[in-house]
Every structure is written in C-alpha cells, then in structure tokens.
Amino acid sequence: MTFARPDHLFDDDTIPRLPTWVTSARAETLEDVAFLSGAALNHLHLVLNRVDLPHALLRDRLALRAAEACLALSGRPERAGELRDAVYLLRLGDLPGPAGETYLAWRRAVERPLSIKSLGRALPAFESGQIATWLDAGKGAPVTRAAMVLEAVLREAPRADVAGLILSDAALAQAFGWGHLVPLLAPGLKRAELRKQGGDLRMACHRALISSVIEAVRQAADLARRAAHLKAVAPKLRAKGAGNAVEMFLTWDAVAPSALPLPDRAARRLCDRLVDLGAVRELTGRDTFRLYGV
C-alpha cells in the first residue's frame, strides 16, 4: 500500500476530516471492510505526519481511551476520571491499583519510541523474547498482522487482553512505519470479538479500526487547535518555569499543579491563569485535587 501526500493536507491550518464515504459506508464483506479500514488508516497516516499536531499529547489521550476500553472489556467500572486520579494523583510509594496499572501500561507503551525494550517496560510480566516472538507472528497487510498478533497472544495467554491489544497496536504501527505506538484497536472491539480467530477476527479488527480512526482524527483536530491556542498565549505567562509547564501540558493528557516545576501557589495560579485564557481546562470539577489538561 502506498501513501500519497496531498499538499492541501499540510498547507491547511485545519486537520481534514475523514471523507464521508468512509464514515457512513455500510460494508458487509471482508474485502469491503478492509478497503474502508485501509482508507481510514491511510488518512490517519497523513494526519500523523503533520508538524502542527501535538503528537505526544494525542498518544497520551488515546492511551487513556484504550485503558478505559480495556477495563470495560474486563467488566471493571473505572472510567477516565478515575483513571486520571489513579495515575496523576499517585504519590511516591503508592500503588495505582489494577485500573491504574492498566492505564500505566498504555502510557508506557506510547511515551517512548516503539521497540521491544519500550514494550517490555509497558508489559513487565512478559519476557522481551516472548514479546518479540508474538510480534513476529504477524504477517501480511497491516491489519492482518495486528489481528494475527492479537490471536497469538490470546492463544498462549488467554487472560492477557491488555498485552494482546498493546502488541497488536504495536504490530500495526510497525507495519505503517510509525515511530510510536498509536492506541487504536481496544476501543473498537467487543469482548466476544477478542475470542474470534482467522477471518472473523480480521473482520472485527477492520471494523474496530474504522471507528477508532474516526475518533482519533477528531481528537487530533481538536488537540491541534487547542495546542495552537496554548502556544499563542504562552508569551503572556510571566511565571518562571512557565515554558516547561506549557511543554508538560502539550505532552500529558492531565497535569496536577503539584507536578509543575513551580512552587505550589505559583503552580495553582498558573493553572488558573491558563483556564482564564481558555488554554487549558480543569478536568475534575472538584475544588481540591484538581487536574488540568489541554
């Protein structure tokens, strides 16, 4: 599969939406669904090449979505707000709990360039040799490779849904030549579909990717606009260390004031100032233990 690079996708200030013939089509055969998922992934591939996209922030937000989906697949009740609390309010020596561990696995999988070492850091329960063997199980076209890796992991470790989904996304990223893992498959798959095999699993993965790419492109467009606004207001910030703080907001899904490189009061004032400028949002709705994000 080749990837054209239309100039208008890079000259425009706005990240283009997926064509309606991809988002509204109703395909029934494996061939038709594969064609639509290929078109969706080709579009995402172009979006991920944009220099105006806050790449680390997009991956971190998609990691949150993938973790939330994995917990739903396992029947756990935790959602985005609880996952953020479990990770971003974690104190030294605290344990994040099962939900927090799932979120941390996805965050670790996306934050460093894709490699066996980075995947081993995300999945410490598995040896690097086993991870490499599972990744080598994927052959053929990108989505076929991802489905084969998912099937291989769950055949050998039936309860390792998170590992299977992380490694299938890793196989997809490798196939497209992306430098980092981009979480896509987990939010679009149902629990029963994880137990499918062969063509049935490939069909489920194609469908899952179409819906996930639609959301990923929407989030990319939203975050690109928000990141541009944050960069535009950054010169108005007078606090020492504000530049490093802005970089944290452009990298992480959520930031606690205590994590910023400023004294506590100055950090809270900076967050309030950014909210007043419309550059970040308070994410919790609480008066204390607040979290902020682009």
Query: Do 89 and 166 belong to one domain?
Result: yes
Query: Do 135 and 242 belong to one domain?
Result: no
Query: Do 206 and 262 belong to one domain?
Result: no
- Domain termination residue (choose one: 166, 187, 222): 222
Query: Do 241 and 171 belong to one domain?
Result: no
Query: Do 124 and 204 belong to one domain?
Result: yes
Q: What is the pTM assigned to this prediction?
A: 0.93
Confidence bin at 12 (pLDDT 50/70/90): very low
pLDDT at position 7 is 37
Query: Do 257 and 210 belong to one domain?
Result: no
Q: What is the DSSP string of 116-138?
A: HHHHHHH-TTS-HHHHHHHHHT-
Note down the domain range covering 242: 237-293
Query: Do 51 and 165 belong to one domain?
Result: yes
For residue range 188-244, what is the model confidence (pLDDT) as tens digits?
999 999 999 999 999 999 999 999 999 999 999 999 999 999 999 999 998 889 999
pLDDT at position 252 is 98
Query: Do 128 and 155 belong to one domain?
Result: yes
Query: Do 131 and 263 belong to one domain?
Result: no
Query: Do 215 and 242 belong to one domain?
Result: no
For residue range 241-281, what is the model confidence (pLDDT) as tens digits?
999 999 999 999 999 999 999 999 999 999 999 999 999 99
Query: Do 210 and 263 belong to one domain?
Result: no
Query: Do 177 and 276 belong to one domain?
Result: no
CA-nearest of 53, 59, 52, 57 to 109 is 59
Q: What is the residue whose two structure tokens read 């990108």? A: 142
Confidence bin at 92 (pLDDT 50/70/90): confident
